[in-house]
Structure 1
Amino acid sequence: MKTNFFGLVIALVFSLSLTAQQKAITLEEIWGGAFRTEGINSLRSMNNGRQYTVLNFENGQSQIDKYEYKGLAKVGTILSSSQEGVPRFSSYTFSANESQILLGSEFERIFRWSTIGRYFVYDVESKKTISVADDKIMAPALSPDGKHVAYVKDNNIYVFEIASQSTRQLTTDGQKGSIINGVTDWVYEEEFGFVRAYQWNSDGTRIAFIRFDESEVPQFSMDVYGTNLYPYQYEFKYPKAGETNATVSLHLLEVASGDTKEVDLGDAYYIPRIKWRNHADKLSVQTLNRHQNHLKLHNVDATTATASVLLEEKDEAYVDITDDLTFLEDDSFIWTSERDGWNHIYHYDVNGKLKNQVTKGPWEVTSYYGYDAYNKRIFYQSTEMGSINRDVYSIRSNGKRKNRLTTKTGTNSAQFSKKFLYFVNTFSSADTPYEFSLHLARDGMFMQKMKDNKALMTKLEGYEISPKEYSTISVNGNDLNMYMIKPKDFDPNKKYPLFMFQYSGPGSQQVANRWLGANDYWHQMLASEGYIIACVDGRGTGLKGRDFKKVTYMNLVKYETEDQIAAAKELSKLPYIDENRTGIWGWSYGGHMSTNCLLKGNDTFEMAIAVAPVTSWRFYDTIYTERFMRTPQENPDGYDNESPFNYPELLKGKYLLVHGSGDDNVHVQNSMRMIEALVQANKSFDWAIYPDRNHGIYGGNTRLHLYTKMTQFVKDNL
């Protein structure tokens, strides 16, 4: 095995004298919140660029407090729910001119991102609070001048005028299961990552919105068992791979008159993004074909409702959708693309002509933060210090004078003030929980620490915590990122069982230099029980270039499975690994992977746990699946060759299959088909269904029960 350590072993350093006093982590502590980190809640920069606000909760009340960046002194409270007429709220948004604040409360979740809630407008000058609507509403947005609030209710768009406290309904054809105006359908929300499908223009005179006609989309139903005598069926539109999607169209609303115009976008199949340019009559629209390998960025003239193409992106596999598009003052724009093999920043003029490629190199831009017009600087996050790390940089729009603004090795992210005077750096690594610090944007100079999690570090000194050892492992012609966790009392002369964890989805990353998540604490607990934990990011995962990521195109799970099997075989050659005790687990995509590894690698893996797995890509949604596989009609072998219920006879090891019956994302149908295939093959296995639980399988003691079951399965079978 070729092993290349690309950094120091990252360890939590404890005094040797404390070793005897250290205790093992428990599941009750993990899922009881004993190791939660502290953060800063809803920080917003003020327009002056020198102050910011934070949402704080004190004595059962919520309040928006204002602070100075320089010195971090609190300078006042803008409003509090202790004031007369102000409800307790859990979200807030300023209007563009900061004259009004939109407050949200009493949220009810619909799907992954969508909610309904009660909303109020607080007038900063008069200190009065007004209710936007009598009922719960979706996706409200203040107009730039702070005079109106648009929102969606019952699939229609409404506008509330604050001064007169009057409401107008601007669309009338909205109907559940048929027409949606201004918010996304299930598959857009899940796969394109947005809910509010309308936007105000810069002067508040127009609203652009997407209309979804999902009347021909097949309907999916789930039994909800609840606590009543009879269960009921929850139904929603869900297009599975190869099936009919909603027909989408783009419309422009004149707010004053209520007149609506449809924009002709030609052969557009998907509309994954809309964004107004700085000119109030100019709108940008991104469209995709069904294969998602041809993106067009359109300019729409709102006065004539006509569109022209500004830019096109094509790829032999697929084009990713991002939120990086930024229009500068002259309506030239910043764009990110993988066209040279790595994700980088490009600058185009107002007409879509390339001015220059701003960043270059064999590394990825992972976040675009914004453009400082005064100093002509772009701020971004990238993997220039190694694919498992993140740092924040500035660079001139001409690609010169690049400056690394963060200095600590690990995961750094930034939130910049308005006018780009300051930024708040959030840093963590495998041995340092989240730290928040203030820096100057011009050069990254440290100004002041805002918050850290030293109390958690002190607490963890009393526990058995083993370091994550980062390295690479060479399999199938690639050096793959890997970490390993060994027992605290590791003895190289002993043999240990190997338990592998992975996700493996396209563009994902599990091997990253960042602070522990809940699964990391579970892995630490298992390490204290004498297991070695390993995680390998195989082909198809992200941040190592376009070709590495897109090699799995048309064959999801095939190469990823081969890499996990090969990695397990290489690790089993280590003198301290027991080659007869190798297990693997994963959730969702990772559950598909662990299932495939156990079956196709039945001479390598002795056990596997699959939580909420896909077992056939034919059962998953159009946008995600077809992006990587095209349709089942075009690529039947790609869909069926890696579907584990097509080869249940390969099962030899111990297998635990878990799903939530209320999973709206990866339907329990996946596990039911796998169960039936294993039953008909007369294979022994373990399984659990959590009633009414969604893809996250949480609520009450659910996670504690799930991980207790998984822990026992590991102990019994590995």
Structure 2
Amino acid sequence: MKHLKSALYICLFVTTILSAQTKEITLEDIWKNGTFRTEGMDVLHSMANGQQYSVFNFDRVARSTSIDIYDYKTREKVKTLVSSAQLDALPYFTNYTFSDDERQVILAINEASIYRHSILGNYYIYNVDNESLTLISKEKIQEPTFSPDGKKVAFARDNNLYVKYLNSGKIIQITFDGKKNEIINGIADWVYEEEFAFVRAFDWNADSNKIAFIRFDETNVPEFSMDIYGSGLYQTQQVFKYPKAGEANSVVSLHLYNLETKKSNEVKVDKGYKDFYIPRIEWTKNRDVLSAQYINRYQNELDLWMINTKTNTSNLVVAEKDEAYVDVTDNLTFLKDNSFIWTSDKDGYNHIYHYDKKGKLINQVTKGNWEVTNYYGYDEKNNTIFYQSVENGSINRDVYAVKLNGRNKTRLTKSEGTNDAEFSADFSYFINTFSSATSPPEYSLNSAASGNLIKSIKDNDVLSQNLSDYKTSKKEFSAIYVNGNDLNMWMIKPADFDASKQYPLLMYQYSGPGDQKVANQWNNVNDYWHQYLAQQGYIVVCIDGRGTGFKGAAFKKITQNNLGKYEVEDQISAAKKLGQLPYIDASRIGIWGWSYGGFMSSNCLFKGNDVFKMAIAVAPVTNWRFYDTIYTERYLGVPQENARGYDENSPINHVDKLKGDFLLVHGSADDNVHLQNTMRLAEALIQADKQFDWAVYPDKNHGIYGGNTRLHLYKKMTNFINETLGDKTEKEEGAKLKEVKIKR
């Protein structure tokens, strides 16, 4: 009886394990319950001593937030620097920023997003020494920034710039002409924020006595308006300046405010073009020398200027030119001697270069038929540069060290997948974030000298264990050869895949310039949805075609002046080739995408109407004439000079080719890809007498989220896929059953 009882327990245990492994993912698991949420490290800051780091923590029980200091080597918590639980005036804070000497911290509260990067909020200064708390401004402000000496804070309010003297509490206004939808001082306008990815357009010099800032005159930029329906009796309207391709941009100018003389003056350089952008400004190590990057409207000429604000002279030190376009980055780094590090793809691949202060090339630091994907910094003590690259395959990322002269290159990370580093201030350690398609994110402390593991910090083993209960499929990486190129691809098959059967195929892609979706990294929410679809009997594939990133400039820039031509050709050709596989049902191939991916899926369905049975387009660009200047003109030029490039590949001009099933989705408050795109495409489809399905989500932006929205959207898309690509036999039997019921 004893042995029988033990055997029964074993049998029950095995049965439990087997049943657990067949648990199915639900849409609620993905978008409602947070079942697959990963643990991370929030707002990590390396302390100046190089031996400690700070992390933003949230205590769910006490409902308080804190900044906690940890020791790199022991990984032990040293202290809590500040906790909202100890601050009567501050029940919580959501972000923090240190002064240079780390004796003061800006704490953020009541933050609300304006657009993708911009935030409006209330901000306090916490003094570490006396534990005092000071409100910077009663009104909501933007981008509060300590001066290097820690005695002042500059910030923006209502399109003007202000400086607060912390000792006296006095606030002075340094610009006065700011006006909504006309003049902006020190804060990027909509299109700069979206496409050059920055908000703060001002910078302190090393002596804390000068502020350089960009002034945006958007008076002549056409306005765009969106109805916000809300819950009131009448809708409101959001009106903002949005320059569509070929239209007027903000007129930008560079200015300098001197806190000692209390005077401001415009800084000019001798450019070779009149219509231009200023995408970056940064003070050098010299307190009087400001660097400024100017790029022409076509974005194929990028100039780096050194401006001596004491002598009012300027020198052009780097002039990048490209037949297509030049990328703007944040990789400019000044060394003590004012020589600088710069990245460029001028040799065909993105690499690191070292120039002297006058712009003479000292040497190309990295070389090879691979791309540098991230620049981490320069360790002056050891004369070493740290960077991330795809040397180990374009779908992988590793962290490397190399001497400034380009010698003694060392791969610091060991695991194949995606590695990303956060270095200590003195470059003695780095926290590595590693993940792969099979390993969720894990955080470890490593030696910057050797890359060797010192200590594990955080993992997601609990998630791995939970996920092992679910019926999931391996993401299979490979390459597919079409149109003369090996294109990176991943495929997810049903867990019970049977090669003797035929499966419907759903293709997912984004395909935008320089993007990558086929990467050896952990799941995002779409990956879980694709796993869910695999459970339902679909094969899901993603292919990065020509125009995507990390395979060299020629591969990326082939789409120049013809956005949507080669990318669509590659997806159609790949679908045809996949349809020849014995386990793919070529009569049931669909494609979906979001934003640029929605533009692509629309075009693929229209132009590839003999290949694709259905498509879903979420928040798509449907006519490039509707999109903004900086992005669109970078790749297509202006419509006045390249009408063919704009029109030949815009879905709105190919609606007559629609044969399959089409689902069109948009948010009504999308400030990025305007609802106008979907409305105009819908009207074109209606006038062409083409049936289609569509949904508009009220007051939702480009991300279409909030409350139950994402769950609703993905239920709708799932139902549409089942209706259009689902099992034919089941559909036929269902139709027959329905017919019998009607007859009865």
TM-score when scaled to structure 1?
A: 0.97
1:462 matches 2:465:
no
SS of the residue corresponding to residue 374 of structure 2 reads strand
What does residue range 560-571 of structure 1 map to in structure 2 within 5 Å? 560-571=567-578
2:69 counterpart of 1:62: no
Q: Structure 1 16/408 Cα, relative in aligned 2: closer, same or farther at 3 Å?
A: farther
The Cα shift of 1:85 comes to 4.5
Q: Given that residues 43 and 55 in structure 1 are in contact (C-alpha distance below 8 angstroms), is that contact kept between their aligned partners in structure 2? A: yes
Counterpart in 1 of 2:115?
A: 111
Structure 1's unaligned 5+ residue stretches are 1-13
The reply on whether 1:249 has 2:253 as its aligned counterpart is: yes
1:50 is matched with 51
CA distance in 2, matches of 1:700, 1:17: 35
Number of paired residues?
Answer: 705
TM-score (ref. length: structure 2): 0.94
Structure 1 position 306, deviation (Å): 2.9
Residue from 395, 399, 402 that aligns with 2:406: 399
- What is the CA-CA distance between 1:43 and the residue it aligns to? 1.2
Q: CA deviation at 1:61?
A: 1.1
Out of 202, 209, 234, the position equivalent to 1:205 is 209
Structure 2 counterpart of 1:314, from 301, 321, 345: 321
SS in 1 for 2:682: helix
Aligned equivalents of 1:616 and 1:70: distance in 2?
54
Deviates more, 1:65-74 or 1:255-264: 255-264
How far off is 1:15 after superposition?
A: 12
Partner residue of 2:130 out of 126, 132, 137: 126
Letter in 1 for 2:213: F
| Mapping 1:438-587, distance limit 5 Å | 438-587=445-594
1:62 Cα deviation from its structure 2 partner:
1.1
Q: Residue 742 of structure 2 aligns with which residue?
A: none
Map 1:681-696; keep pairs closer than 5 Å: 681-696=688-703
Q: Please say which of residues 533-542 and 120-129 is displaced more in the overlay.
A: 120-129
Partners of 1:503 and 1:510 within 8 A in 2: yes
Contact 1:150 1:158 in 2 (8 A): yes
Match for residue 29 of structure 1?
Answer: 29
The one of 418, 433, 439 equivalent to 1:411 is: 418
Contact 1:105–1:119 (8 Å) recurs in 2 = yes
The AA in structure 1 aligned to 2:324 is A
Distance 1:45 1:20, change over 3 A: closer
The structural deviation recorded for 1:94 is 0.7
Q: CA deviation at 1:63?
A: 1.1
CA contact (8 A) 1:263 1:307 kept: no
Deviates more, 1:80-89 or 1:472-481: 80-89
Q: Give the match for residue 5 of structure 1.
A: none
Matched, 1:219 2:220: no
Residues 384, 159 of structure 1: alpha-carbon distance in 2 compared, 3 angstrom cutoff: same
Which of these residues, 279, 282, 286, is aligned with residue 279 of structure 1?
Answer: 286
Contact 1:262–1:305, Cα closer than 8 Å, also in 2: no
CA distance in 1, matches of 2:547, 2:508: 16
- Picking from 192, 197, 202, the partner of 1:188 is 192
In 2: Cα distance, 1:222 partner to 1:56 partner: 37
Alpha-carbon distance between aligned partners in 1 of 2:585 and 2:453, rounded to the nearest angstrom: 48
CA distance in structure 2 between the aligned counterparts of 1:245 and 1:129, rounded to whole angstroms: 41
Rounded to whole Å, the distance in 2 between the matches of 1:165 and 1:527 is 61
C-alpha deviation, 1:20, in angstroms: 6.9
Q: Give yes or no for contact 1:540–1:549 (8 Å, CA) kept in 2.
A: yes
Match for residue 603 of structure 1 among 610, 623, 630: 610
C-alpha separation in 2, matches of 1:235 and 1:286: 30
Alpha-carbon distance, 1:715 to partner:
0.2
Q: 1:254-313 deviations in whole A, cap 9, x for unaligned?
A: 123321111112346100000110111011000000000000000011113332101110
For 1:172 and 1:327, the matched residues in 2 are separated by 33
Residue 104 (structure 2) aligned to one of 92, 95, 100: 100
What is the CA distance between 1:22 and its match in structure 2? 1.5
The answer to whether the 8 A contact 1:263-1:306 is kept is no
Cα shift at 1:82: 1.8
1:17, distance to aligned residue in structure 2 (A): 6.0
For the residues of structure 2 that align with 1:40 and 1:145, how far apart are their CA atoms?
29
Partner of residue 170, structure 1: 174
Give the stretch that moved more between structures: 468-477 or 639-648: 639-648
Check if 1:300 corresponds to 2:307: yes
What is the DSSP-based 3-state SS (H/G/I as helix, E as strand, rest coil) of the residue aligned with 1:122?
Answer: strand
> Is the contact between residue 105 and residue 118 of structure 1 (CA under 8 Å) also seen in structure 2?
yes
> Which residue matches 1:350?
357
From 75, 87, 95, the counterpart of 1:72: 75
Which residue of 1 is the match for residue 85 of structure 2?
A: 82
Can you list the C-alpha shifts for 1:451-491, whole angstroms capped at 9, x where unaligned? Answer: 00000000001111100000000000000000000000000
> Aligned AA for 2:68?
D
What residue number does 1:39 align with? Answer: 40
How far apart in 1 are the matches of 2:124 and 2:515? 38
Task: Write the distance in 1 (CA, Å) between the matches of 2:359 and 2:665.
Answer: 49
- What amino acid maps onto 1:70 in structure 2? K
The 5 A counterparts of 1:646-665 are 646-665=653-672
Question: What RMSD over aligned residues (CA atoms) do the two structures have, in Å?
Answer: 1.2
Tell me which residue corresponds to 1:375: 382
Deviates more, 1:365-374 or 1:18-27: 18-27
- Deviation, structure 1 residue 642: 0.8
Contact 2:196 2:328 in 1 (8 A): yes
CA contact (8 A) 1:363 1:544 kept: yes
SS in 1 for 2:86: coil
Q: Are positions 1:711 and 2:718 aligned together?
A: yes
Q: Is the 8 A contact 1:132 1:160 kept in 2?
A: yes
Shift in Å at residue 121 of structure 1? Answer: 0.7
1:192-237 CA deviation, whole Å, 9 max, x = no partner? 0000000011121110000000000000001111111111221000
Q: Percent identity?
A: 59
Cα offset, 1:19, TM superposition: 6.2
2:163 is matched with 159
Q: Which runs of 4+ in 1 moved over 4 A?
A: 14-17
Aligned-pair CA distance for 1:543: 0.3
**3-state SS of paired residue (2:126):** strand
Distance in 1 (CA, whole Å) between partners of 2:667 and 2:623 is 17
Q: 1:325 aligns with which of 329, 332, 335?
A: 332
Assess if the C-alpha contact under 8 Å between 2:341 and 2:355 holds in 1: yes
Give the conservation status (yes or no) of the 8 Å contact 1:510–1:537: yes
Question: Does the CA-based 8 Å contact 1:85-1:129 persist in structure 2?
Answer: no
Q: 5 Å matches for 1:425-440?
A: 425-440=432-447
Deviations, residues 41-77 of structure 1 (Å, cap 9, x unaligned): 1111111100111111121111111111011111111
Query: 2 CA distance for matches of 1:437 and 1:644?
Result: 47
Given residue 239 of structure 1, which amino acid in structure 2 is its aligned partner? P
Structure 2: gaps of 5 or more residues: 1-13, 726-744
Quick check: which has more Rg, 1 or 2? 2
Using the alignment, how far apart are the partners of 1:130 and 1:662 within structure 2? 36
Letter in 2 for 1:621: D
2:639 aligned to 628, 632, 646, which one?
Answer: 632
CA contact (8 A) 1:264 1:306 kept: no
Instruction: Give the whole-Å Cα distance in 1 for the aligned partners of 2:415 and 2:286.
Output: 41
Match of 1:11 in 2: none
Which is bigger in relative contact order (C-alpha 8 A, separation at least 6)? 1
The answer on whether the counterparts of 1:364 and 1:544 sit within 8 Å (CA) in structure 2 is yes
Counterpart Cα distance in 2 of 1:18 and 1:122:
54
Three-state SS of the structure 2 residue aligned to 1:370 is strand
Write out per-residue CA displacement over residues 639-685 of structure 1, whole angstroms, 9 at most, x where no aligned residue: 00011121211000000000001000000000011100110011111
8 A contact 1:85–1:128 mirrored in 2: no
Match of 1:236 in 2: 240
CA contact (8 A) 1:261 1:305 kept: no
